[in-house]
Structure 1
Amino acid sequence: MALSSHVEYESTTRTAVIAGLGAYVPDQVVKNEEIAARLGVTTDWIRDRTGIEQRFVLNPEGATSDLAVEAARRALDSCGNPDIDFLILATCTPDHLFPSTAPSVASRLGFKGIAAFDLNAACSGFVYALSVSTGMLATGAYRTGLVIGADAISSILNHDDEITGPIFGDGGGAVVVRAGHLGETGSVSVQQLGSDGDLLDIMKTPGGGSRQRAAGVPVDIDSSYFTMSGRAVYKHAINRMSTVSRSVLERLGWTPDDVDWLIAHQANRRILTATAEEIGIAPERAVINVDRVANTSAASIPLAMVDAVESGALTAGDKVLLAAFGGGATWAAAGLTWPELTLAPTQTVR
């Protein structure tokens, strides 16, 4: 029997409930004017193609773990700093190729000894990690966890590439999840994940892995840069996110009109609005902060969550649809009813 190309998980009793939320972007702001001067284009050229006005980037001494730790601290502060049983770090830019970055993040947060691991589903990583946490909590073996999405994409960019150079920024976002039951506000009730390895080449960093080493290809700086086929990503992102979203809505028993907020991966403004329209959700009900933080990969959805809560748009009881598409290719969607949350006093997304 052929296995399905996607994974669906729906707990009948226990599930993950979002109990805390936090996000972080570094201090350094890079405006479109700087990018435009370097690439020899206009600021309008960047804005029209991406909807992005600025992005935040780490200083040269920074790393993904720094973003993850700061975001996690804010999430923990928002819900009274509970004890944590596990930590999942969604990232495609770990501090090191080996070992996993998550144990270091856990130790820096004071949680030595807990289960901690990285998950790489690129820009879909946060929703993937949220789904994995749901499964872990549903077993009854864990009570509370941290799900973090963090990426320092600036560390793998060729900043002179006009395709990728203007699009990405660095950031981290996190949620505290606890064991709960379906029907609670904040409970993650339906998730669906998918992938297609035939789309490997539309987004990838060619060098640094065992494929390059096994082939005996010399390591060079160009192979360490992230590459992307813009047109292919645009087409597949809209198609996959809208398709998986409609499937999740059907399983939830929601119509597109029932959705108060679509919080999708902040790829670029054109993809976000086209995806909303394809699902049947009015574009004004799509949370968009890509203009201020750019595409932050696995961090983009929790960053958008924080922005929506800070602005007062996202409130308890709202029906929320999450959707993402990333390298691999991977895609994911999930539905939940938003809980009553208070952000930490230190929380702000610039």
Structure 2
Amino acid sequence: MGQGRIPAFDISAVCSGFLYPMASAGALITAGITDSVLVVAAEAYSRVVDPTGRSTAVLFGDGAGAVVLRAGRAAEPGALLAYDLGSDGEGAELIRIPGPREQPTGDRWFAMAGRKVYLRAIEQMAHSALRVVKDCGWSPETIDLLVPHQANARIADALARRLGLPPERMAWELARTGNTAAASIPLALAGALATRTLAPGARTALTAFGGGLSWASTALIWPQLTAVSSEL
């Protein structure tokens, strides 16, 4: 990219792997360590999903998305107004890839305890999103657009009901992209911008849940941006 020897590091938080680095980038900027950060979320599920697995292969996709955060005024549109981060290591076995000690021969594919993950995802994303909304001084019904991790439609529907939001206030790209883990939120944002679902001044909440188990949320007033072409 021609950026020279600037700092760069990875964060492994699976489906929360866009919002965790967003919080880290915001903290670096607030601390005065840097004045801008490029946050990239990229996933290649095709490397870890069994291509013959009917419960996984049809659900997951490869993808990538990115945003640039910059220093600015706390009250200006685009400022990240609140964060909520959490994890529960006791649920680590619910979403996993077996290691070489567990499966020394043969392929080691991604596995998930679907029903248990479904229930926890709804619970944690709802609580996390409500925390940041409350911290912003908003109420759930005033959210203009909720952008959740694009896990599956049933989770999204249940999450919308928990928050009292109609379907049209939910950003949704799953049908085109599949579950792209960390990349799913930036891809959903790109889709919402392309369809004009997301407009300047919109109260926007982002929330995710995934392996680890981990979850994260943030909220912002959407800024005025110059649209460029994107590939979805």
Q: TM-score range by the shorter chain?
A: over 0.9
Which letter maps to 2:61? G
* 2:153 paired residue number: 269
Q: Tell me the distance in 2 between the aligned counterparts of 1:186 and 1:122.
A: 24
Which letter maps to 1:328? G
TM-score (norm 2): 0.97
Q: Tell me the distance in 2 between the aligned counterparts of 1:162 and 1:239.
A: 26
Unpaired runs of at least 5, structure 1: 1-108
Q: How does 1:78-157 map to 2 (within 5 A)?
A: 109-157=1-49
Q: Tell me the distance in 1 between the aligned counterparts of 2:172 and 2:196.
A: 14
Q: How does 1:181-330 map to 2 (within 5 A)?
A: 181-207=73-99, 212=101, 219-222=104-107, 224-330=108-214
What displacement does 1:329 show? Answer: 0.2
Q: How does 1:34-49 map to 2 (within 5 A)?
A: none
What displacement does 1:218 show? Answer: 6.0
Match of 2:126, SS state, is: helix
Q: Tell me the distance in 2 between the aligned counterparts of 1:183 and 1:274.
A: 32
Q: Tell me the distance in 1 between the aligned counterparts of 2:89 and 2:105.
A: 25
What displacement does 1:341 show? Answer: 1.1
* 1:342 paired residue number: 226
CA contact (8 A) 1:273 1:286 kept: no
Match of 1:116, SS state, is: coil
Which letter maps to 2:5? G
Q: How does 1:42-61 map to 2 (within 5 A)?
A: none
What displacement does 1:182 show? Answer: 1.5
Unpaired runs of at least 5, structure 2: none
CA contact (8 A) 1:237 1:271 kept: yes
Q: How many residue pairs align between the two structures?
A: 232
CA contact (8 A) 2:41 2:183 kept: yes
Q: Tell me the distance in 2 between the aligned counterparts of 1:137 and 1:292.
A: 34
Q: Tell me the distance in 2 between the aligned counterparts of 1:260 and 1:333.
A: 15
Match of 1:244, SS state, is: helix
What displacement does 1:128 show? Answer: 0.6
Q: Tell me the distance in 1 between the aligned counterparts of 2:64 and 2:103.
A: 33
Q: CA RMSD in A?
A: 1.2
TM-score (norm 1): 0.65
Provide runs of 4+ in structure 1 moved above 2 Å.
217-222
CA contact (8 A) 2:141 2:163 kept: no
Match of 1:221, SS state, is: coil
What displacement does 1:256 show? Answer: 1.1
Report whether the alignment pairs 1:179 with 2:71.
yes
What displacement does 1:137 show? Answer: 0.4
Select the structure of larger CA radius of gyration.
1
Q: Tell me the distance in 1 between the aligned counterparts of 2:106 and 2:206.
A: 36
Report whether the alignment pairs 1:167 with 2:50.
no
Percentage identity across paired residues of the two chains? 40
What displacement does 1:251 show? Answer: 1.0
Q: Tell me the distance in 2 between the aligned counterparts of 1:342 and 1:294.
A: 27
